[in-house]
Amino acid sequence: LSEAAYLALDWGTTHRRTYVMDPAGTVVARERDGRGVLSIPPGGYPHELAALRARFGPLPAIAAGMVGSARGWREVPYVPAPAGAAQLAAALTCIETDDLLIVPGLSLREAGRSDVMRGEEVQVLGAVVAGLAPADALFCQPGTHNKWIELEGGRIVRFTTAMTGEIFALLRDHSLLSEMLGGEVEDGHAFRDGVAAAQEEGGLLAQMFGIRAAVLLESRPRESAAAFTSGLLIGSDVASAGVQGRTIHLLADATLGPLYAVAIQLLGGRVALVDSEAAFAAGIHHIRGLSQ
Amino acid sequence: LSEAAYLALDWGTTHRRTYVMDPAGTVVARERDGRGVLSIPPGGYPHELAALRARFGPLPAIAAGMVGSARGWREVPYVPAPAGAAQLAAALTCIETDDLLIVPGLSLREAGRSDVMRGEEVQVLGAVVAGLAPADALFCQPGTHNKWIELEGGRIVRFTTAMTGEIFALLRDHSLLSEMLGGEVEDGHAFRDGVAAAQEEGGLLAQMFGIRAAVLLESRPRESAAAFTSGLLIGSDVASAGVQGRTIHLLADATLGPLYAVAIQLLGGRVALVDSEAAFAAGIHHIRGLSQ
């Protein structure tokens, strides 16, 4: 098996990335599409994988992400943190009828708090394997749910998920602020004002209402309210993570990456960008190799 | 005019309270209905008031609340805080064709923050006039948007609005947590756990995601997630207000009042309940009297 090419899938809630890997772990082809878990009907997964094989060849496959959740192909139990690649490799779920391995997610139980992840673990562990980040590092992986992931000795020891992106979307799409949040979200004065506001006293729930009041009283232009709101939420998220004086290894796309980078730097952190596709490929190849 | 009976209206976004006042300011009849501003079509206000007069008599009227907003009968400019009843009385808007006075709301502009209110100002000023609260007092008025209002010498000197209730509704109706938030919201262990969680490090955005993780990992029963979430949000709101060692004058209904009272007490504050209908009647009568 380890001498053959294979398919590696980063199969999330809304998107799917497919990598054709050669036996040495080099990506020889890649594809990104919108066939995330939410778009696949119950029972539709074998057909989805067969369609990929029709395009890329009859290769064995390994997948990580929400495909292993209750909404996905099969629910794979979480591996409790702290954990590294060896623990994930030992807990792979095999769906033999489809020649597919699914990587488990991680769970965290600490006094008073719980957390879970599915998919991000492969990227951060892979970043270390590929030499893209040190074995002791704090990662930030923005998205609908932003993840802060702490590695020690190449193992994930703790992590925190923040609903930052989802709360922004709720405010924009469904709240009293909706009519004010149609503007562009980009770095600039308004975004940075929002990051600064998040550091002030008063609490996030009050600061959110203050956005509406500032527009009504014309102390903030309506067009800049969305960028300010994004800065407020990302600034709150970054402040809670305690980035001052630390290097944050940022796994992010072209939209959220620059915004998080600015907020981290404004709050006294340093930013090291990590290529998330290279990290995923390295991680999944390493985990697959350990399981053989 | 001051020797006649009149109608006093607390006309908000979703509800309307009508009081028939005798010349001395005693409430002789009252009615509550769902004819809030959101339910009135454009141009429909004169008809609404005429319908009230058909029931209660051809009396002059005075109204406060969102009826004076851009969505209401007529937009009445805000009076800047600090302000008391005299400033509100001096800024009443008169709609002569309908024999109606509308009380303006208040605006606040401080370094870095803005806030607005419409309607709450009548209740808190009235509470002092009626002897239901001292002239120096901190009020809490829960609702979709919770208000903290600071009075000094009987004037409103500053206030803060928090989106607490609206964020709870967004999480329950539109978020990833929706399916978990169908349970009862009431005081109990789960609510109090939420209040306590809000005092811990980590930030509100992460604590919200932790609710989902705790249910997935079965460290919190699904039925109690709604009460915990309410405790988390109200606990965050109350903590930001700085209630420790203070008496909070609580103007609240039977649903939110007990929850805020518990959170205030858990965070070291004392609670004095204020009858919001009595406070409104006293406030509107006082403001109307000053304008004559």
SS (H, E, C) A98-158: HCEEECCCEEEEECCEEEEECCHHHHHHHHHHCCCCCCCEEEEECCCCEEEEEEECCEEEE
Would you call A93 helix, strand, or coil by DSSP?
strand
Nearest to A255 by CA among A199, A209, A186: A186
**Mean per-residue pLDDT for B43-71?**
96
Dihedral of alpha carbons B189, B192, B198, B200, sign = negative
Burial label for B115, CB within 10 Å (0-12, 13-18, 19+), is: buried
Mutant choice from B113, B208, B224 vs A, greatest count of A C-beta within 10 A? B113
* Min Cα separation B174/chain A (Å): 7
Report the C-alpha gap between B143 and A225 in whole angstroms: 24
Of A170, A210, A237, the CB nearest to B174: A170
Q: Which two tokens stand for residue A231?
A: 């800065």
Nearest to B113 by CA among A216, A172, A188: A216
**Cβ distance of A114 and B214 shorter than 8 Å:** yes
Tell whether the model's pLDDT for residue A1 goes beyond 80: no
Nearest CA in chain B to A112: B197
**Mean per-residue pLDDT for B229-235?**
98
As a whole number, the mean pLDDT across chain A is: 95
**Cβ distance of B213 and A164 shorter than 8 Å:** no
Q: Which two tokens stand for residue A86?
A: 């060896």
| pLDDT number for residue B2 | 46
Nearest CA in chain B to A118: B213
Q: What is the per-residue pLDDT across B236-290, written as a single tens digit (0 to 9) for each?
A: 999 999 999 999 999 988 889 999 999 999 999 999 999 999 999 999 999 999 9
pLDDT band at A112 (very low <50, low <70, confident <90, very high): confident
**Cβ distance of A206 and B160 shorter than 8 Å:** yes
**Cβ distance of B162 and A209 shorter than 8 Å:** yes
Of B109, B112, B161, the CB nearest to A200: B112
Tell whether the model's pLDDT for residue A3 goes beyond 70: no
Nearest CA in chain A to B202: A240
Q: What is the per-residue pLDDT across A157-190, written as a single tens digit (0 to 9) for each?
A: 999 999 999 999 999 999 999 999 999 999 999 9
Chain A with chain B: Cβ pairs closer than 8 A: 150
Side chain identity at residue A248, one-letter code:
I
Tell whether the model's pLDDT for residue A96 goes beyond 80: yes
Q: Are A22 and A83 in contact (CB under 8 A)?
A: no
**Cβ distance of B170 and A166 shorter than 8 Å:** no
Higher pLDDT, B47 or B201: B47
Of A109, A204, A205, the CB nearest to B219: A109
Rounded to 5°, angle at Cα A168 from A162 and A173: 140
| pLDDT number for residue A2 | 46
| pLDDT number for residue B237 | 97
Nearest CA in chain A to B118: A213
Q: Are A271 and A256 in contact (CB under 8 A)?
A: no
* Min Cα separation A211/chain B (Å): 8
Measured between beta carbons, which residues in chain A are less than 8 angstroms from residue B113? Answer: 197, 200, 202, 207, 210, 213-214
As a whole number, the mean pLDDT across chain B is: 95
| pLDDT number for residue B4 | 87
The tokens 């994004």 sit on which residue? A230
Of B112, B162, B202, the CB nearest to A240: B202
The verdict on ipTM greater than 0.90 is: yes
| pLDDT number for residue B1 | 43
**Cβ distance of A217 and B162 shorter than 8 Å:** no
Report the C-alpha gap between B86 and B72 in whole angstroms: 24
Q: Are B160 and B148 in contact (CB under 8 A)?
A: yes
**Cβ distance of A210 and B173 shorter than 8 Å:** no
Measured between beta carbons, which residues in chain A are less than 8 angstroms from residue B206? Answer: 160-163, 237, 240
| pLDDT number for residue A292 | 82
Q: Across chain B, where does the E strand assignment appear?
A: 6-11, 16-21, 27-33, 61-64, 79-80, 93-95, 100-102, 106-110, 113-117, 137-141, 146-152, 155-162, 247-250, 270-273
Q: What is the per-residue pLDDT across A12-52, written as a single tens digit (0 to 9) for each?
A: 999 999 999 999 999 999 999 999 999 999 899 999 999 99
